[in-house]
Amino acid sequence: MKILMIEDNQSVAEMMGMFFQKENWEVVNAYDGEEGLAQFKADPEGFDIITLDLNLPKMDGMQVAKEIRQLSQSVPLIMLTARDTESDQVLGLELGADDYVTKPFSPMTLVARIKALHRRAEVSETQSPATESADADYDVETKHFKLSTKTREAFLDDVPIEGLTPKEFDLLHTLAGNPKQVFSREQLLQLIWDYEYYGDERTVDAHIKKLRQKIEKVGPQIIQTVWGVGYKFDDSGLDV
């Protein structure tokens, strides 16, 4: 695995480099936002994971994340932040981060998060061949909605829902694959992120918000909130 670590604290970068080496991972270090973005632009397909500090010189981590996501919707991105406010964390997730880790953190925690994201990315790749028959079977198909894990495509009334990140697609697949079943945030964290988030449910809410925005570009909302419980997929209201 090849990691791009955008981190201005050289001590943190060197420490994590030792842990990455133990895993036989290659790491490319960048010590400010402009350098990190330039490293990614030079080889957008060359990195398996990006870890991104928010408090960076020359270019803020939020702006770096935004520009990375304009270049790639699929590269897994973990934000490292000393900011422990809800607004900062949610904004980071809304800009396209798959996960965030609050400083100070255990190196093994970051390694575990990286492994979990990489497993998910590998599953997505095996389900997304470069070429696929136009009439491929759909894993989920209702009167108004259909989804294929083979092509990683989803359609609402035959209009494609564009720009879904891997996590957004997995959320939509999980919910749509079980119509009207209510999933708690804790269940979604375990199913989609593949590990415990220690009770932090803002990750789910931020990804649901972005997913809804992309759905609403093509039609009525099909992800419903069940207050006090969680979320469900329900497209029956489209018949009205």
What pLDDT is attached to residue 133?
Answer: 37
Q: How far apart are CA 28 and CA 223, in angstroms?
A: 39
pTM strictly above 0.75? no
Q: What phi and psi values does residue 51 have, to the nearest 5 degrees?
A: -110, 135
C-beta separation of 51 from 6 below 8 A: yes
Q: What is the pLDDT along the chain (240 residues), one digit of tens a residue?
A: 999 999 999 998 999 999 999 999 999 999 999 999 999 999 988 999 999 998 899 998 889 998 998 888 888 889 887 765 566 666 777 777 888 888 888 888 888 888 877 876 665 555 444 334 344 578 899 889 999 988 889 999 999 998 888 888 889 999 999 999 999 988 888 888 765 544 467 778 888 988 999 999 999 999 999 998 999 999 988 775
The per-residue pLDDT for range 92-113, each reduced to its tens digit, is: 777 778 888 888 888 888 888 8
Long-range contacts from 184-192, C-beta under 8 angstroms, 24+ separation = 184/229, 184/230, 185/230, 185/231, 187/230, 188/230, 188/231, 192/120, 192/167
